[in-house]
Amino acid sequence: MRSVRLGPGDFRTMPWKNGGGATTELLIEPPGATLDGFCWRLSMATVASSGPFSSFPGIDRTLLLLEGGGLELDHGPHGRVLLPGPLEPAAFAGEWPTRGRLLDGPCRDFNVMSDRARVRHRLLVLRPGPAPAALPAAPTVLAFCAGGRAALSAGPGLQLELPAGELLRLDLEPSDRPALAAALAPATALVVVTLEPR
């Protein structure tokens, strides 16, 4: 198992692909990849006004709100999806024409994108209690603390506390045991992303 812990000082801010705002890139693979050549990418952005989403042909996306009073995703012929509040994910294709409509003021979102020809991603929200809960197993597991504070462990080689706003990357071997997460504060929530090659 290899682990890397990242915080706000490791993230980078850059313009949206369509120039309509700014995004905070948490992690991208391969490192230094452009928006037209990545395998997978995690980011956060403040959505200050309603408007179109950037187009990412060939990319699978999953988006959820971290903060805010709701967002409607209008995918045109592919329908609409309502995100009424934080930590409710929605998946869609990056090439779909998508427009976001704010329901009650600005929102902050969390976005996962992966090249569907090369990798499959899944996102789940884990709300651990005081007793440890297992993270899903995959070749790469990303855990972002969206609230509270979590204790993460995976044998003697990994014992750490992850506060809100920090990210842990785990690269696992088939023989590795799944990592465990326990809450150290009320309302602890982890956004967990698994990545597997196709």
Using the predicted structure, report yes or no on whether residue 129 has a pLDDT greater than 70: yes
Using the predicted structure, report yes or no on whether residue 20 has a pLDDT greater than 70: no
Identify the pLDDT of residue 15: 76
Identify the pLDDT of residue 148: 97
Q: What is the pLDDT of residues 81-100, one digit of tens each?
A: 999 999 999 999 999 999 99
Which pLDDT band, with edges at 50, 70 and 90, does 178 fall under? confident
Identify the pLDDT of residue 156: 75
Residue type for 83, please?
L
% the chain with pLDDT above 90: 86
Using the predicted structure, report yes or no on whether residue 164 has a pLDDT greater than 70: yes
Residue 113: both structure tokens together: 């994108």
Backbone angles phi, psi at 78, to 5 degrees: -95, 5
Using the predicted structure, report yes or no on whether residue 17 has a pLDDT greater than 80: no
Using the predicted structure, report yes or no on whether residue 180 has a pLDDT greater than 70: yes
User: Per-residue pLDDT averaged across 46-58, rounded?
Assistant: 93
* Range scoring the smallest mean pLDDT among 12-21, 140-149, 161-170: 12-21
Using the predicted structure, report yes or no on whether residue 79 has a pLDDT greater than 90: yes
Using the predicted structure, report yes or no on whether residue 103 has a pLDDT greater than 70: yes
What secondary structure letter does DSSP report for 169? E
**Cβ-based neighbour number of residue 37 at 10 Å:** 10
Question: In degrees to the nearest 10, what's the CA dihedral of 166, 56, 38, 180?
Answer: 30
Which residue segments constitute the domains of the chain, with CATH numbers given?
Answer: 10-117 (2.60.120.10), 120-197 (2.60.120.10)
The answer to whether the CB of 182 falls within 8 A of the CB of 148 is no
In angstroms and rounded to an integer, the radius of gyration of the C-alpha atoms of the chain is 16
Q: What is the mean pLDDT of the chain?
A: 94
Which pLDDT band, with edges at 50, 70 and 90, does 36 fall under? confident
% the chain with pLDDT above 70: 98
Using the predicted structure, report yes or no on whether residue 19 has a pLDDT greater than 70: no
Beta bridge partners of 114: 40, 60
